Structure 1
Amino acid sequence: MALTYHILDVFTERPFGGNPLAVVLDADPLSSADMQKVAREFNLSETVFVLTPTSAGHTARIRIFTPSRELAFAGHPTLGTAALLAELRTQPQLNGERDAIIALEEEIGSIRVGVRLRSQAAAYGEFDAPKAENTLERLSEPEEISAAVGLIPTEIGFENHKPTLLRGSNTFAFMPVSNLEAMSKVKVAPLHWSRAFTARGVHGVYLYTRQSVRVQSAFHARMFAPDLGVPEDPATGSAAAGFAYVINEFDELPDGTHKRAIEQGIEMGRPSAITLTMMMARNKLETVRIGGHAVRIAEGTLRF
């Protein structure tokens, strides 16, 4: 059996930046065990398997695997797969431009991604993230959680921002860091990490600061998920979606539409750019939208 796969860099306009993603097409013959083996072989943050949709109203059904487990939802696999399917399955208009809605069946539910394709430009996609079903929890034990990421307690927090936890299909801890210098020192300390995060069921820790490398960025971020087989992630759409609730909690957004540019992956040499859009109504966060570019860089044949 031979299956076609593609490699994309997601949340970047240039090859070899952003977060790499493997997408395996026509993967219906594969078992769950097969998919996990393939994801471990690619050894990227996530690998996507494209399957026949169960509903005619959807473009495809997808399953998402890290090197160690399956995920119900993830941001850069959603955006990258939608960009790829738009390129492969839609016809260009007379001027060569294409706009497509790609409807994906994921374990968490249906996700619709708007994709814009233009000649001589990277594909751009945007989707409404699943709504958080839980409220933010405050994280205490500052000595333990700071030690877990190789920092001291005084380097955690800025302004009124404090460490928080948001539970869901992917549970993230959000840790504000005082400045870029402290961010550059972050390193997972396994023993402290196990007590501070693994024991709480945390999948990933998202660290952020208002200081940024790029002028246009509102936040600089790093994300670590060693329990998922991801030592550090260059760009994390699902964490950025959860981060919207953190921003609203501490920055108290007024009603209206608010956009924030988030940079990530810079310390890894894979700079990424995520556009986070938050829509507030009646003092509530009604919609969280994740946007970014994707570049197809390779394709090949997977043989079994």
Structure 2
Amino acid sequence: MNKKDQSQCQQTALITGAASGIGYQLARIFALNNYNLVLVDRMGQKLLEIADKFHEEFHVFVKTIVKDLSLATSPEEIFTELQQAAINVDVLVNNAGFGIHGLFHETNLTTELEMLQVNVVCLTHLTKLFLKHMVKQGNGKVLNVSSAAAFQPGPLMAVYFATKAYILSFSQALASELEGTGVTVTALCPGPTESAFHERTGAAGTKQVKENKMMGAAHVAQIGYQALMEGKTVVIPGFKNRILAEIVRFAPRNLVTKIVKNMQEIK
């Protein structure tokens, strides 16, 4: 945490998975717009470096919380720590998530259960904890990072695609429930994005990654931030990604699944 008094800035954004990729870029954008930050990630040293950098560059308050979000206790621990520090969260960004590539009957069960915990359970738990106060105060924003993967089944990344479909459905339902409360929920659904995600999942060699030009994480984050500020429910960065999301709604499901499987195969 840097030494600036948190009360000097009006609002605070909590961002999970903030040490790299889209999460880092979102944190940078919020800092640029004079938000206090609560940055959550497993990479403690990286978070401290980011906190120092943002304090020096943007003169904002940054609190770092080192947590493994695959542990079921993490959301409550984060919430309790912020309550004890009297830090009110005005914007919740559920960005943390990961995937795994391969045939479901061959992939590691433990890893997939951890994925469900991070991508689905932790996101849901954090939203439940922070949303109540947002509604009570009549103001707040939630940004859930889903994916263009949310719009169709994903053979060879079956669990990951399913988690992103959950996030999209969950976000759209909450957005409807919260109409008139002053609180908005936005689902950011990017396509393939330049980051270490593909290497970590083992999908770097797929046709999807090799044959498509990926958007930069900074560009995706800016689009997501703007949509969040405008109170949009769903935003899909990139014209091609938006078109594909519409097409799959009308194409035969078995055809869509075959195409996705082809794109997810190692080239």
Q: What interval of TM-score do these two structures reach, taking the shorter chain for normalisation?
A: under 0.3
- With structure 1 as the length reference, what TM-score do the two structures score? 0.25
Higher helix proportion, which one?
Answer: 2
Higher strand proportion, which one?
Answer: 1
- With structure 2 as the length reference, what TM-score do the two structures score? 0.27
Structure with greater contact order relative to length (CA < 8 Å, sep ≥ 6): 1
